[in-house]
Structure 1
Amino acid sequence: MNPIRVLCLIAAAVPLLYSAPKIVGGPFAVNVTSRGATVMWIVETEELSVRPVGEAAKISPSLHAEKTDLANLQPNTRYEYEVAGLKGSFKTAPNGAEPFTFIAYGDVRTRHDVHRRVIAKILETGVPDLILQSGDLVENGHDSSQWPTFFDIERELLRQTAFFPSLGNHERASKDFYEFFQNETGFYSFNWGNAHFAVINSDINSISTSKSLRDEFWERQKRWLEDDLAGAQKADYRFVMAHHPPYTAVERRQGDNPHVTALVPMFEKYKVTAGIFGHDHNYQHYLKNGVHYIVTGGGGAPLYDVNKPDPAITQKVVSIENFVTVSVNGKVAKVKAISIDGKILDEFEFQSPVK
């Protein structure tokens, strides 16, 4: 059993604003590695606006991210922290092939009662070492009033694990997303034990109104992804996460994001173990040329019918709220898709190397 390391208390910074800040999100850990992490917390403040002389002062709420970067940590060790009386913990990534568990889910933007039930069921299964969230955390990422609801529902889960999200189309490339989760582009990668994870930004329509700028962004990201996967060939597992899936059984959404579909040959070339996606509000599992494609978009948003699966690659499709657990142990990883009522929807294994 690894020891719990207690970090020093983190004082919530108080910026020079109209009133003292209120913590409405977190604390939670992002960018967790074997040697470091960033603890985030989101504060709501009232900012006094600049106005012409003689007009009434306008006070409006605003969200800001506060953070503390942690370094020189020990691998595979649980650390505790405290921010303004709010306690949390996370476990650093292992360097070797120690067992670990992660959970994937997404599309929690609406039906908050359902979202709460999904999180409660996740907690019942046991706290994972890390979370992959496939996007659409809120209905409109530019509406600051929606973020506190997300953080309230996810509070007990986020305070116990490491959080790795991808950008969904409903985040709309908002500055809040990039600030809250400490990522400038929406694409990034990390290692966890014997697994490599690459997260890509598939919501290019929100990047710019200029087609040339969108194309330039996608080409830059695609070059980065190829270099990243090429450099991860020693990992036992390679996972890719994006919001938009390359395959779907939702007929009206087929062909929704040709950019991601065009990445399939790259996934096959570099022997990606599995792609994890959201966007479609259901559970779908495909297997093509050794690569698994998992859609787990059943976190709370209204469900979509699965009415046109491709029989050549379909393993399982079902329209129900869900999440996916992956337990990695050496060369075998056991996967379960679990419904909101705790039923196992799908169960299979990843094996290394990819066959």
Structure 2
Amino acid sequence: MKLIQLLTLTTLLCAPLIQAQSAQQDVFGEHYYQTNQIPSSFTKTDDDYTFLVVGDWGRNGHFAQRNVAKWMDIASYQFDADMIISTGDNFYDNGIASVNDPYWQTSYENIYHGPHLFIDWYVVLGNHDYRGNWQAQIDYSAVSRRWNMPAQYFDKLIPLEEGGLVHLVFLDTSPLNPDYQHDAKYQETLRQDSQAQLTWFEQTLKRHKNADWTIVIGHHPLYSSGKRYGKTRAVRGVIEPLLAQYEVDAYIAGHEHDLQHNKPAGSSVEHFVSGGGSEIRPVAQRKFTAFAKSSAGFAVVRVNQQQFTLEFIDDKGEVIYQYTRDKSRESGQ
């Protein structure tokens, strides 16, 4: 009798756990991903290297952060993403204190918990990250398998299936931004050797100038259709000459809390802003604006040897913008 009672009690105690595990499996089962789909008109090929880009997200799940994370997981599943890139401002308002700061759980681990978000994240620092212990974000790379920030700035070469090469360059733009030279909140950026970074940046671009695609990621946009319209001249003067000299294909930033594609006259560089990871701000149409929307969301980028495509996905899972560049058409192949 006691054995039967013990087994009954054990069953009763374990039932909620079993039900919870079953519910979790149901939530992220095949039915879930078939029911929740992003209506993209782009066709993925086996040659594509695919990554998501999100920025300005670290707000403990507030605003639209959880919804954006949900659709990032769905996008990663649907488009078979290879990595995720963060354009910075990973923790608001004042960065983090250490690798043990609770923000790692409340703003990152517990938010981006969908099963298809456990792929490699490549991350740059934003200005808000410099208000805290920026070194801890580098050090977290040794704690987390998916978090990758080997240094304040770094690059990554991606061999493509058909033999091409993508060169991703990750900048630390806060120390390069002259506007922070007299801002007490960002005095830490002045302690960094900006000239050393610029020298490295040029050498890196020169070394891999024959890559099929060169994409530079930084926090600060060089052109903005949002809050900082007309206020990006200083940082643009530092970075843009090298983008032009080495014929960089795209520059992707955050900082502005929205989604943008800017095409300045006379420039061959495509400028994108993916800073809609949580809070949003107003935008407006400018002379160089190809697209701008005050929307939470993220970007999906696909690259193969001939084609670069980018889609902006909002926090409701809708495709709100699509862009394609085809080099085979440009060369007349």
TM-score by length of 2: 0.69
Higher RCO (CA 8 Å, separation ≥ 6 residues): 2
Q: Please give the per-residue CA displacement for 1:61-118, whole angstroms capped at 9, x wherever unaligned.
A: xxxxxxxxxxxxxxxxxxxxxxxxxxxxxxxxxxxx9421111111112261521111
Higher mean C-alpha displacement, 252-261 vs 343-352:
252-261
Query: For the aligned residues, what is the CA RMSD?
Result: 2.5
Distance 1:261 1:118, change over 3 A: farther
Distance 1:202 1:260, change over 3 A: farther
| Paired position in structure 1 for 2:289 | 314
Distance 1:251 1:121, change over 3 A: closer
| Paired position in structure 2 for 1:296 | 274
| Paired position in structure 2 for 1:39 | none
Structure with the larger helix share: 2
Distance 1:121 1:209, change over 3 A: closer
Cα distance in 1 for partners of 2:195, 2:326 equals 31
Cα distance in 2 for partners of 1:339, 1:320 equals 6
Runs of 5+ unmatched residues, structure 2? 1-45, 142-147, 160-164
- Number of residue equivalences: 253
Structure with the larger strand share: 1
Runs of 5+ unmatched residues, structure 1? 1-96
TM-score by length of 1: 0.65
Moved over 6 A (4+): none
Instruction: Say if 2:56 and 2:257, in contact at 8 Å, map to a contact too.
Output: yes
Secondary structure of 2:263's partner?
strand
| Paired position in structure 2 for 1:26 | none
Cα distance in 2 for partners of 1:231, 1:157 equals 37
Distance 1:158 1:108, change over 3 A: farther
Match of 1:186 among 144, 152, 161: 152
Does residue 1:286 correspond to 2:262, yes or no? yes
Does residue 1:137 correspond to 2:108, yes or no? no
Q: Please give the per-residue CA displacement for 1:201-231, whole angstroms capped at 9, x wherever unaligned.
A: 01225775585x44xx111111111111111
| Paired position in structure 2 for 1:148 | 105
Cα distance in 2 for partners of 1:155, 1:245 equals 29
Cα distance in 1 for partners of 2:168, 2:256 equals 21
Instruction: Say if 2:127 and 2:186, in contact at 8 Å, map to a contact too.
Output: no
Q: Please give the per-residue CA displacement for 1:117-154, whole angstroms capped at 9, x wherever unaligned.
A: 11111121234101111011111323422121122111
Cα distance in 1 for partners of 2:315, 2:296 equals 5
Identity of aligned residues (%): 22
Q: Which has the larger radius of gyration?
A: 2
Deviation (angstroms), 1:188: 0.2
1:255-294 aligned at under 5 Å gives the runs 255-256=231-232, 258-288=234-264, 289-294=267-272
Higher mean C-alpha displacement, 139-148 vs 248-257:
248-257
